[in-house]
Amino acid sequence: MTLDMLHFTPASALAGGLMIGVAAALYMLLNGRIAGISGMLGRLIDRATVDHASPLAFIVGLAAAPWLWRALEPMPEITVAASNPTLIAAGLLVGFGTRYGSGCTSGHGVCGISRTSKRSFAATATFMSFGFLTVLILKHL
């Protein structure tokens, strides 16, 4: 059994998935907008946007949640096995893909698929396939 298999916790994964789904559904119900993080960041940056409070609160909550969890529950040590230039390049590529794909994983993968959007099914299949392919090439070949 590998170390990764020892850290598989289906109960916490299910609880996290349910919380993400409920948050996305409530955001849509209460605001009439998709809870896509890239769209929210875009609305914060766009000076023409009137309502900055809603996306700001969502993003602050998203950023604060790990710190709150860490205060309540010890978290495992996280090690990143990549250099800073690699992380910067990866971040820029993700940002480019988010712009090019008209949305991010949360917008397409959570909200778009739940709305049965064909474009979101295609986007999610694309980024998941390339994610699997990247891991296969970098870790196993």
pLDDT band at 3 (very low <50, low <70, confident <90, very high): low
Residue with tokens 């739940």: 114
Residue with tokens 């909200």: 111
Contact present, 112 and 120 (Cβ < 8 Å): yes
pLDDT of 8 over the 80 cut: no
* Mean of pLDDT values over 2-19: 76
More confident: 18 or 13: 18
pLDDT of 6 over the 70 cut: no
pLDDT of 2 over the 70 cut: no
* Mean of pLDDT values over 46-69: 85
50-59, 103-112, 128-137: which is most confident: 128-137
Dihedral sign computed on CA atoms, order 19, 63, 139, 9: negative
Per-residue confidence (pLDDT) for residue 136, from 0 to 100: 93
pTM over 0.75: no
Domain hosting 102: range is: 3-140
* Mean of pLDDT values over 21-43: 86
Q: HEC string of 84-137?
A: HHHHHHHHHHHHHHHHHCCCCHHHHHHHHHHCCCHHHHHHHHHHHHHHHHHHHH
- Residue 104's contacts (CB-CB under 8 Å, 6 or more residues apart) are 36, 37, 38, 39, 98
Per-residue confidence (pLDDT) for residue 89, from 0 to 100: 94
From the list 141, 115, 13, the residue with the least C-alpha distance to 132 is 141
In terms of phi and psi (left: phi > 0; alpha: psi -120 to 50; beta: otherwise), the region of 102 is left
pLDDT of 4 over the 60 cut: no
CA distance 22 to 10: 18
Q: 75-126: per-residue pLDDT in tens?
A: 777 788 889 999 999 888 888 888 888 888 778 888 888 889 999 999 999 9
CA distance 88 to 102: 21
CA distance 110 to 127: 13
The number of domains in the chain is 1
